[in-house]
């Protein structure tokens, strides 16, 4: 599987949080050859089922990778000397320091290419010079007269970032929306891997909606699908200048398996044991409270779902130049696929027994 080509398709397709229909269509096309059923639920999450070969009723493992991306929204349409401009606000965790000079697409009645601009420092009022931009300083310019902008764009329209995926050196790539299209790619690798393996459990692969704003797709899909166990796949922080603490990981060093309140220790051990059997290097991360991922929403659905968390190291999170190593995508997909291939009817019992054993 060509990981770069896969990621290019995924990252360059727009999918702001709450406006995921375009990316959902792209993922449907990618997953269709590997699954038995694929549908979109009421909140926009994509649900793909790959049936196992075990006796019915078969246990189910849910894989969650969110497909939405951080984005912007039209807050106001303004006129200046007959030209139309858009004031904006954030959708998800957008850092305003990265916005000036970015290329965007405004999703109005038709898609409009635009740029995010502001006055240069010397043209700002003296009290605003040499200070960070605020939302009031930025505008989107689509190059149209005000009358045309008002016809085509409404308050509340989404604005996505327009940035191609670029190859760096080795297996490194950089672009927008690798959080979390890298993990959608890993699920794609997993599904393809399972096409050549027998597995007893049903697999429910979910490209979840609105993770960046509320974990909505993970909450609703976990509730509706009622899996016996789950694994969330997301990105985690990559090491780099100024980012070198215990919970950051080298790009290319393998998946990061998380341990913390949102993770069932038995699921962590199963992933670790699988990695050891595959002779695959993995990292261990920790979260002391909320993990900031779909794992939280999966874990608390219905009676509670034993959940694991796999992270793909990523630098420059929530920017338009997010960077990963494609080897980590491929390894994450194979790791989860191999775990699924080895799930049997005793696995859930072992999880429960493991929680009761004393060290």
The Cβ of residue 283 has, within 10 Å, a number of other Cβ atoms equal to 18
Q: Which of 20, 69, 211, 330 is catalytic?
A: 211
Report the length, in residues, of the chain: 359
**Paired sense of beta strands 71-80 and 83-91, if any:** antiparallel
Contact 9, 187 (CB under 8 A): no
Neighbours of 358 (CB within 10 A): 3
Residue 247 exposed, middle or buried by CB count within 10 Å (0-12, 13-18, 19+): middle
Q: Which residues sit opposite 258 in a β-bridge?
A: 285
Residue 150 designated active-site: no
As a whole number of angstroms, the distance between CA 151 and CA 290 comes to 43
Residue 323's nearest CA partner among 63, 7, 1 is 7
Helix (H, G, I), strand (E, B) or coil at 287: coil
Q: Are 80 and 144 in contact (CB under 8 A)?
A: no
Whether the CB-CB separation of 233 and 183 falls below 8 Å is answered with yes
Catalytic residue ranges: 211
């Amino acid at each position: 599987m060509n990981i770069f080509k896969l990621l290019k398709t995924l990252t360059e397709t727009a999918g702001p949080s709450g406006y995921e229909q375009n990316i959902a269509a792209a993922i449907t096309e990618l997953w269709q050859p590997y699954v038995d059923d694929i549908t979109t639920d009421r909140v926009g999450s994509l649900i793909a089922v790959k049936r196992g070969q075990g006796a019915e009723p078969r246990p189910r493992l849910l894989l969650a990778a969110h497909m939405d991306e951080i984005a912007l929204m039209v807050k106001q349409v303004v006129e200046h000397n007959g030209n139309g401009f858009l004031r904006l606000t954030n959708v998800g965790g957008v850092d305003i320091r990265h916005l000036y000079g970015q290329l965007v697409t405004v999703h109005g009645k038709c898609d409009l290419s635009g740029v995010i601009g502001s006055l240069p420092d010397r043209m700002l009022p003296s009290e605003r010079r040499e200070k960070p931009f605020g939302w009031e300083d930025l505008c989107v310019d689509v190059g149209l007269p005000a009358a045309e902008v008002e016809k085509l764009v409404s308050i509340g329209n989404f604005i996505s970032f327009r940035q191609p995926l670029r190859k760096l050196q080795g297996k490194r790539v950089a672009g927008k929306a690798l959080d979390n299209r890298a993990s959608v790619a890993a699920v794609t690798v997993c599904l393809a891997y399972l096409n050549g393996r027998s597995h007893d459990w049903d697999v429910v692969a979910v490209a979840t909606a609105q993770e960046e704003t509320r974990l909505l797709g993970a909450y609703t899909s976990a509730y509706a699908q009622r899996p016996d166990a789950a694994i969330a796949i997301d990105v985690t922080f990559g090491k780099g200048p100024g980012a070198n603490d215990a919970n950051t990981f080298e790009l290319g060093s393998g998946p990061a398996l998380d341990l913390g309140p949102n993770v069932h220790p038995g699921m962590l051990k199963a992933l670790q044991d699988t990695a050891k059997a595959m002779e695959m290097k993995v990292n261990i991360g920790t979260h002391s409270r909320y993990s900031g991922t779909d794992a939280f929403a999966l874990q608390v659905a219905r009676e509670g779902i034993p959940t694991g968390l796999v992270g793909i190291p990523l630098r420059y999170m929530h920017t338009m130049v997010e960077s990963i190593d494609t080897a980590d995508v491929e390894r994450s997909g194979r790791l989860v696929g191999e775990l699924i291939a080895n799930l049997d009817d005793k696995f859930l019992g072992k999880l429960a027994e493991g929680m009761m054993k004393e060290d």
